[in-house]
Amino acid sequence: MTMATAAPNTGFQLSMLIYDTRYRAISLQLFVLLLVIAAFWWLGSNLQANLEAKGRPLSFDFLWSRAGYDIGQTFIPYTNDSTHFRAMLVGLVNTLVLAVFGCLFATVIGVVVVPLYEMTPAPNAFKLTDEMIASGTEPAASMILGGTVAITNRGTYIPGFLFERGFSAGWMTTLAIFLVIGGSLAAHLTLNARARRVQEDTGVRPVTWWQSLLVLFVPLGLLLWALGFHLDIPQPPSRFNFEGGVVLQNPFVAMLVALSLYTGAFIAEIVRAGILAVSSGQTEAAYALGLRPNRTMNLVILPQALRVIIPPLISQFLNLTKNTSLGIAASYADLRGTLGGITLNQTGREVEAMLLMMLIYLSISLIISALMNVYNRSVQLKER
């Protein structure tokens, strides 16, 4: 009687990199990666040789020379005596701030339908009198939201953050803030994880919202109180400009409104398509169980619609981030306006400036894609 025996284990062999399906995909990816690296190496060497032949070797020393130009909207300290590297950072921060708030507002516009109320002021509400012109003051009617925001032809003034004590301590205070915020978030996630385990074991989820509020806001509130935090409210001007607060230049506001409305229209269609992709039987079944329409939308429709909404939403966020480069048309100094505009024209380093811009925009796009894909995987169906 013949008995079948298992094939002997011969160990790893080089031929398995080609013929074994367990290693073939990795082998092909490594091969393609080596080809891409070799291609970039050849292109870089060819570029360097051609630039050296023209007496302009590839160099980034221009980043440390004096910029010599002013930037209207700055969220970090900057003067015309700063370096081109500092100007590049200002443009990068301007790009990121516009992209983050643009994505946020566009998502709100696309998801939430808010009725627009006609807010027509009185005919003479914003009319400058001869006394105002003579004194150089602006009308108080431009103050909105309880007198905390001022809209003028010079810009929009919003409340700023002030720390009367301790914020000037430097990295120690910054580290303490991050530790408090990180500890609070970790405690909040731990509470939610414990509540989820209890719910899986007993079927009843314990109430944790008040504990989460305590661990999230009490430590942060105590830290802000210790630092003497308070809002810097814009004050009506004594002569020309408002005093205090943070001024948002009109180019930034114009770009934010334009990008938010433009991208919000696309997001609205994406959300509509995601909701319509859910079978109507889901809604009917939820109503049959006695769920109200808002609970049906939050618990039944949206969780399923997100699987359709998130992938195209990633593309819209990427498009909005790249569309911030249109700020040069509105005199908004983003990365394209500083590094790819004035710095490039002043230094004549076109290749270096374009390489830096490509690398920065590529990095931003990869980070956005990675973060959104992590969220996309969290809302996907978990298969056994």
Q: Which amino acid is at 252?
A: F
Mean pLDDT of 335-358: 88
Token pair belonging to 277: 């992709």
Provide the mean pLDDT of the chain: 77
Burial (0-12, 13-18, 19+ Cβ within 10 Å), 117: exposed
Q: 360: pLDDT confidence band, cut at 50, 70 and 90? A: very high
- Give the DSSP H/E element, type plus range, for residue 256: helix 250-276
The predicted pLDDT at position 317 comes to 92
> How far lies 160's CA from each of 74, 91, 155, 247, 257, in Å?
14, 21, 15, 9, 21
Is residue 190 situated within a structural domain? no
pLDDT over 70 at 16, yes or no: no
- Give the DSSP H/E element, type plus range, for residue 158: strand 155-158
CB 148 within 8 A of CB 234: yes
Determine the Cα–Cα distance for residues 353 and 338; give it in Å rounded to an integer.
10
Is residue 217 situated within a structural domain? no
Q: Which amino acid is at 82?
A: S
- The three-point CA angle 355-359-364 to 5° equals 150
Is residue 99 situated within a structural domain? yes
Token pair belonging to 147: 């007198």
CB 258 within 8 A of CB 320: no
pLDDT over 90 at 320, yes or no: yes
Determine the Cα–Cα distance for residues 317 and 101; give it in Å rounded to an integer.
11
Mean pLDDT of 124-144: 49
Range of the domain at 309: 57-115+248-384
The string of pLDDT tens digits covering residues 64-122 is 898 888 888 888 888 888 899 999 999 999 999 999 999 999 988 888 753 333 334 44
- The three-point CA angle 54-58-61 to 5° equals 125
CB 302 within 8 A of CB 328: no
What's the total number of domains in the chain? 1
Q: 141: pLDDT confidence band, cut at 50, 70 and 90? A: very low
CB 102 within 8 A of CB 256: yes
Mean pLDDT of 232-245: 68
Cα first-last separation, the chain: 42
pLDDT over 80 at 242, yes or no: no
Q: 132: pLDDT confidence band, cut at 50, 70 and 90? A: very low
The predicted pLDDT at position 363 comes to 92
Residue owning tokens 């308070």: 230
Which candidate, 266, 252, 376, 240, places its Cα nearest to that of 324?
A: 252
- Give the DSSP H/E element, type plus range, for residue 18: helix 16-19
The predicted pLDDT at position 146 comes to 64
The predicted pLDDT at position 114 comes to 36
Is residue 46 situated within a structural domain? no
Measured from the Cβ of residue 331, the count of other Cβ atoms closer than 10 Å reads: 15
pTM, two decimals, is 0.69
> How far lies 302's CA from each of 268, 380, 381, in Å?
14, 12, 13
Is residue 151 situated within a structural domain? no
Token pair belonging to 163: 């720390």
Torsion 360-368-316-90 (CA) sign: negative
Is residue 74 situated within a structural domain? yes
Is residue 320 situated within a structural domain? yes
The predicted pLDDT at position 253 comes to 86
Is residue 240 situated within a structural domain? no
Question: CATH number, domain at 308?
Answer: 1.10.3720.10
